[in-house]
Structure 1
């Protein structure tokens, strides 16, 4: 569930998500390094709170994990993953039709029910948002367009996690999307789902992960490398579509800036404060895209 405003998010719930992530890493054992964290928990590690320069991020209500399907599908590699999940306190989420899901799992942490969603890569738009089973694992993963970029575009951060159920504290290595992967995937997610939270997460990372100059230079260098050129290009087009000027409509009037300001409850719709906030967001994204385009062109 994605709340519509910053005020609806809770620090305790975000910490519970981190605890669930710690138990998930335990469940995967030696395969834990193959997991990649994406989604709303990533800014906790990518842009750690450091007032006044880096403000608090809203947090999250769930945990999104991209699986390395080719590793898990190897015969005999980890045949009882579902049993390992259950042994570590996870159970399948029951869908609205009463059927258990195999790509969404849940666990109680400090009285909160935390949902973990397993995702996998696809480069086929027709397969986006379709679940597919993992051979012999009793687990499936939702196919997400270009999610596999995080297997190469990631950072590793060691954090101390308090495990639920009195299991104590442990130090874990979390491999999460880096700034480029996060901007790419959040841009595509917002283009697809159009939620306030996706717009807010995207802008938060663009503002606080690094300078806009450094972020654009890194994004452009990845474009030049070519390994994920189409994914990166689609990410840029999504940003242009939702945040930047085009014929007949100014960028600040578009969904991205409007939904960012709605999430942070900046002024009333149509007020000077709201319009200024929307203009600032559009200007930020427009500068980023323009810098990436210019750097990529210069490298040709």
Structure 2
């Protein structure tokens, strides 16, 4: 999650997304009995929150990597976790080496073909001892995780789905249960991610889910229900603040000119001057969609107050 992502949808393709899914299932095998503690976030999640069903629901752009949130409390109490680095290596995973020649213990990679590699990133919730953006060993040597603010919400707010896919290295076809961020958790984490690093892909992923995971009234109500339950309130409030700041009219600046709608338009249509009208229409649509999401939430909260 620390690396720069392609700026437009053209930088992603369906075949690599399938390779990411195959890598995910192979990764689950590496964790054995602990696989139920893993939570998937990031760009692969819309594949499951908004299954392709044209023309109503178009295919999501896809992803270039697999982002996994580890449950430190559970893993720290399991003796098998000390062997995780060896288990990963036995499944063909290697430490990622950056362009400076430095290897990482929180970023791993898996070769899926002669010319294709999938990156896997291990993440954890940030806390007072390890703020967001910092990396620390999880338990013992060999594996680390990057701290992400509020990533821990996915241990409570997640969905499950059985997927069937081909294992890597001709391992046959396997069915596994994956656990991934639900809609509210995804909105929170993507809003915060875009607010933090301003990647076009984060804004586009967020808006794709708002567009196609259900009616905007339903998605807003799910968010409202979480606010009323008063769990992870800081995460929810932080996400709302990020959405207002990046997608809504503030300080006299029209909403569609904010960097969130602009990022979505650039992701969808690039920067070709000939597509200026398409970008403008997309910006206005995105601003309206997010604005309505915020309006519904604020209306419900004001009535409750």
User: Normalization by structure 2: what TM-score?
Assistant: 0.94
- Distance in 1 between the 2:225 and 2:232 partners? 11
In the TM superposition, 1:38-187 aligns within 5 A as 38-74=41-77, 76-111=79-114, 112-124=116-128, 127-187=131-191
- Shift of residue 105 of structure 1? 0.4
Distance 2:138 2:251 in 1: 45
Q: After TM superposition, give the deviation of residue 137 of structure 1 in Å.
A: 4.9
Give yes or no for the alignment of 1:34 onto 2:37: yes
CA contact (8 A) 2:269 2:278 kept: no
| 1:298 shift after superposition | 2.5
Contact preservation (8 Å) 1:81, 1:137: no
Unaligned runs of 5+ in 2: none
> Which is further off, 117-126 or 3-12?
117-126
Query: Structure 1 residue aligned with 2:298, among 281, 293, 296?
Result: 293
Residue 202 (structure 2) pairs with residue 203 (structure 1): no
- RMSD of aligned alpha carbons: 1.7
How far apart, in 2, do the equivalents of 1:125 and 1:57 lie?
36
Cα deviation for residue 124 of structure 1 reads: 4.8
* Contact persistence 2:49–2:182 (CA under 8 A): yes
Q: Between 284-293 and 126-135, report the one with greater CA deviation.
A: 126-135
Say if 1:16 and 1:110, in contact at 8 Å, map to a contact too.
Answer: no
CA distance in 1, matches of 2:224, 2:303: 10
72-81 or 230-239, larger mean C-alpha shift: 72-81
Q: 1:169 offset after TM fit, Å? A: 0.7
Name the residue aligned to 1:282.
Answer: 287
Compared CA separation, residues 139 and 29, structure 1 to 2 (3 A): same
| Range with greater deviation from structure 2 (144-153 or 104-113) | 104-113
Shift of 1:70: 1.1
Q: Say which SS state the counterpart of residue 160 (structure 1) adopts.
A: strand
Structure 1 portions without partners, runs of 5+: none
- What is the alpha-carbon distance in structure 1 between the residues aligned to residue 67 and residue 266 of structure 2? 24
What is the distance in 2 between the residues matched to 1:62 and 1:107? 10
Q: Distance in 1 between matches of 2:275 and 2:94?
A: 46
Q: CA deviation at 1:76?
A: 2.4
1:98 Cα offset (Å): 2.3
Counterpart of 1:104 in 2: which secondary structure? strand
How far off its partner does 1:271 sit? 3.3
CA contact (8 A) 1:158 1:173 kept: yes
Distance 2:191 2:129 in 1: 15
TM-score, normalization: structure 1?
Answer: 0.96
1:240 aligns with 2:206: no
